[in-house]
Structure 1
Amino acid sequence: MEEKQKKVRKYNVGKTSSRTMRTASLDTITGLYERFCNYKQTEGMAIRTLKDYKSHFHYLMKFLEDEDISRKEITRDLFREYISWMLYEQGLSPVTVNIRIRTLRAFLRFCYKEDYIQHPIHEDLKILRTPQDLIESFTIEEIRMLLSVINKESYTGFRDALIIQFLLDTMVRVSELVAIKKENVQLNDGFIKLEAIETKTRRARLIPLSVRTIAILKEYLKETKEFESEYLFLTYEGKSLSADTVRWSLRQIGEAAGITNKRVSPHTFRHTGALMYIMNGGDPFSLQKILGHTHMNMVRKYIQMTDMDVKEQHNVFSPLNRIF
């Protein structure tokens, strides 16, 4: 049945093969997408986001079997079939499909506003419903287990333990972590400055540091003083640390600690820090600023609590505690 549906697809038309978007005409979807990406670039969109946009377009071209289509063939039904193809022929999860739908909506909104297409197709492409799964986070005991297996007498062990505590305290993304320069460290004021060019939202922000993190950072800066690198987190040879190296190190620590039921990753520490911030009495508005989110709905996802978290909070804040 699926094979038959693939054969009768009507949108594999056009005679201009287009694997790149460099010289495409604005009368074709590849040309329009190139114009769209250029427009986003002038808006200051992060390089990694632009790469994602282009990756999503190549996936659309796979659906079109690398055949370009004209502006007239950009229709609502085309993209509805594309969504169906991703779900049922490619077996992608609704979460993954939604990521590509959001990119499509941005592209089609641009085309409509610029009068390249006549109908607001983006309004008809709805985000798919997905299960509201809890975002993974670590328990206090799991964090202690992770720290306990690290040999802090070695440089890499000391650095990795600092990174874990830094991720929990600041809740920065791993891309932001590895981009921090020594000049961005303001220990006297108790802040780390994140440059706008290195953040996902392209906005600079100041991240407060706890007293404990400041003390460990001072010790770490003494350890790395001999290195001439401008970056804060360094390899054993004094070179800037990559995001992949951080991810690999955390996975190794997780395996050594025997934590196999959840991902030991920078993002899980970010989730954990956000949840513990709220559990410790922090307010969601200051948390939103620390996380660097422009909308509160993302903060809500980060602070989803498990049943045990809710029970613990209830034990502390039950109205009966004030009565009796």
Structure 2
Amino acid sequence: MQRKPLRKFKRNTFVDSSKVEGLTMREMFENFMIIKKSEGLSKRTIDEYYINFDYFLRYTGDDLTGEQMTTERFVRWITHMREEQDLAPATINIRVRTMRAFVRYCYEEKAWISEPIHKRFKPVKAPIDNVESFTPEEVRRLIGVIDETSYTGFRTKVIQFVLLDTLVRCTELINIKRKNIDLKNGSILLEGDGTKTKVSRYVPISAKTIKLLKEYIDETMEFGSEYLFVSYEGEKLTTSTVRSDIADCGKLAGITNKRVSPHTFRHTGALFYIMNGGDPFSLQKILGHSHMNMVRRYIQMSNADIKYQHNTFSPLNSVFK
């Protein structure tokens, strides 16, 4: 069945807060979005607010008044997503968090609604899934299938090394600037406007990556771009190109049991970091996470990994050296 197109919203309307009588939910939302835009959120995040709001409007079938915005209506929406639409808990929770932020604003900041809906309208419990990662042998296969004699092939190899070594996100990767690469000290500065958290951070790079980057930088000097990774025409690389190139490597390497993507390299790098003796606190800083909960997910180990770590670091090793 063809999906219903998303509604289009006017995004430049600000409702006078002194005229709240008869304010509709859509008008409240436009007022809320003025605040969110002022926080400097990325275009992608802003678009997700509108998309998730539209999902709720599709459920209600029409705009609502403040009186119609009740806890029961929002809770029934969750039931609808779980039982009627059969959506995954993670998908449901993305939509719920957007609407919770909105109704909290309506209740606490503006007093447009009379119920503290956000206190009773909560994300659903989701099982903690193991985060997919590559084995060392799979990484070697992914690198081994690359044709380094072509520019795009060599670029893909460098990208794979940088992803695995620095643990950067795909969007952070394409925003790396040449001027922020310090080959002498082995680090890359990720500028705040190019990171998910909008906070700049340094990520270290190892000797193998430094060697590859030096060769790649010399080879792409003639493009004259401020960005590190560029197309054959010298344009800044897109995330879709990076994902496509890496997925192609996965097909050539015969890896069909898991997703071959930039984010899987990030998960893999985090796990290898811990397996090689790195501590979770420095890993948290490299990953750019403000909380440890995501770091814990990234470093979930298989039973074989745990057995290997135990054999290496068993407490008895300190007693019987």
TM-score clears 0.5: yes
TM-score in terms of structure 2 length:
0.91
Cα separation, 1, equivalents of 2:116 and 2:288: 31
Contact 2:14 2:34 in 1 (8 A): no
The 8 Å contact of residues 197 and 203 in structure 1, kept in 2 or not, is answered as yes
Percent identity (aligned): 53
2:110 paired with 1:121: no
8 A Cα contact 1:271 1:302, kept in partner: yes
Matched, 1:91 2:86: yes
Partners in 2 of 1:141 and 1:323 — Cα distance? 34
Deviations 1:122-166 (A, max 9, x none): 111222112221000000000001111111122111110111110
Deviations 1:44-91 (A, max 9, x none): 2222111111110111111122x1111111111111111111112222
Question: What do residues 271-293 of structure 1 show as CA deviations (whole Å, max 9, x unaligned)?
Answer: 01111111111111111111111
CA-CA distance at 1:323 after TM superposition: 2.7
Structure 2 residue identity aligned to 1:40: K
Q: What is the one-letter code of the residue matched to 2:294?
A: M
Q: Is the 8 A contact 1:21 1:30 kept in 2?
A: no
Following TM superposition, the consecutive aligned residue runs of length 4 or more in structure 1 with deviations greater than 6 angstroms are: none
Residues matched between the structures, number: 306
Query: Which of 11, 20, 23 in structure 1 is aligned with 2:9?
Result: 20
- Matched letter for residue 112 of structure 1: Y
Quick one: which amino acid aligns to residue 79 of structure 1?
A: F
CA distances 1:278-324 after superposition (whole Å, capped 9, x unpaired): 11111111111111111111111111111111111111111222333
Partner Cα separation in structure 1 for residue 125 and residue 252 of structure 2: 37
Give the TM-score, by structure 1 length.
0.91
Q: Over aligned residues, Cα RMSD in angstroms?
A: 1.5
**1:24 to partner: Cα distance:** 7.9
**Residues in 2 aligned to 1:93 and 1:137: alpha-carbon distance in whole angstroms:** 21
Unaligned regions of 5+ residues in structure 1, if any?
Answer: 1-17
Q: For 1:21 and 1:61, locate their aligned partners in 2 and report how far apart those are by CA, in whole Å.
A: 15
The range that moved more, 243-252 or 116-125, is 116-125
Which residue pairs with 1:206 in the alignment?
A: 202
Quote the Cα distance in structure 2 between the aligned partners of 1:173 and 1:259.
21
Structure 2 residue aligned with 1:81? 76
Distance, in Å, in 2 between the alignment partners of 1:242 and 1:81 is 40
Question: In structure 2, what residue type is equivalent to 1:216?
Answer: L
SS of residue paired to 2:188 = strand
Structure 2: runs of 5+ lacking an equivalent: 1-6
